[in-house]
Each structure stands twice: as C-alpha cells, then as structure tokens.
Amino acid sequence: MIRTATTSDYPELRELYHDAKLRQHPFIDSEFLSSDIDHRFEQMLPDQDCYLFEQEGEIEGFVAVSGDHLASLIFPTDRQHIGRQLLEHVKSRHQQLHLYCFVENRPARLFYQQQGFEVVGEKVNEALDALEYRMEYGVALSA
C-alpha cells in the first residue's frame, strides 16, 4: 500500500534513508551523511510531497518530491518492484520529473533509465566533490 507519509513516520523513514545511503554511496563521509539527514528531515521533507510503501504495517520504502524534483527514492535494492510502484505513484501526479544521480551509483542510473528517465547532463556535487548526472522524465528534449 502506498500512502502519504506523516511526521510520525519520519523516524522510520530516517533510518531507511540512512541505511540506503550507506549502502549505495560508500564514498559519503559519515559526518556529512549525519548532517545531510538532519537537514533533509528537519528542513526539507516537511515541505515535500512524501509517499511511503507499507506492507503488513512495515514501511519498506519512500519517495519525496519537491515540485518536479525527485528528491529521494528509497527502497531495498533487492525489491525493485517497490521502487517502481513508488515511482509510478509519483509519475501519475507529475508529467515531468528530474533528479540527480551520482555517476558512481550505476545501479540507480540503470533503474531510472528503465523507468523512462534520460541522462541530460552532469554536474559536480560540490559538497561531496562527486559527479552527478541530471536525469529527466517526461521532458521534451530539444534537438
């Protein structure tokens, strides 16, 4: 079941986010990660549309969107169907989406490409000195 997240869900979402970031981004310093999580959950997430995937009372993943920016999509790497369902839920509400995906996170880039996102550019994430792809969905790209 997909439902809108509430602030009472944040502790569990925070734990899911932390664990996913440690697994998928080993190059992120743990001190930076703690600061990022604090900022994301205290200042950003309350202003975003956040939906979670819940099964048998357990939260198994979530997605957060700010305007047309896909800010977070967190799900177990071995349960891509959860990621697909969360993404389809967001796509049904947004004709266009964009996100940033670390170049080093090849599995995430491939997942997003399978879901219709295209790499349209790249930039350096200055806070981490890491290269990111900008990916877009539903945007008519000019030739």
Helix (H, G, I), strand (E, B) or coil at 35: helix
Looking at residue 141, what is its pLDDT?
52
Phi (first) and psi of residue 129, to 5 degrees: 50, 50
Model pTM score:
0.85
Q: What percent of the chain has pLDDT over 90?
A: 56
Separation of alpha carbons 43 and 45, rounded Å = 6
Spatial contact of 17 and 40, defined as CB atoms under 8 Å apart: yes
Average pLDDT for 38-45: 80
Give the pLDDT confidence of 72-125 residue by residue, as tens digits: 999 988 888 999 999 999 999 999 999 999 998 899 999 999 999 999 999 998
pLDDT tens-digit map of 43-59:
778 889 999 999 999 99
What domains does the chain contain, in order, with CATH numbers? 2-97 (3.40.630.30)
Query: Comparing 135 with 7, which gets the higher pLDDT?
Result: 135
Output phi, psi for 6, to 5 deg.
-120, 165
pLDDT recorded at residue 6: 92
Task: Give the other-Cβ count within 10 Å of 87's Cβ.
Answer: 22
The three-class DSSP label of residue 90 is helix
Say whether pLDDT at 18 is over 70: yes
**Which pLDDT does position 95 carry in this prediction?**
92
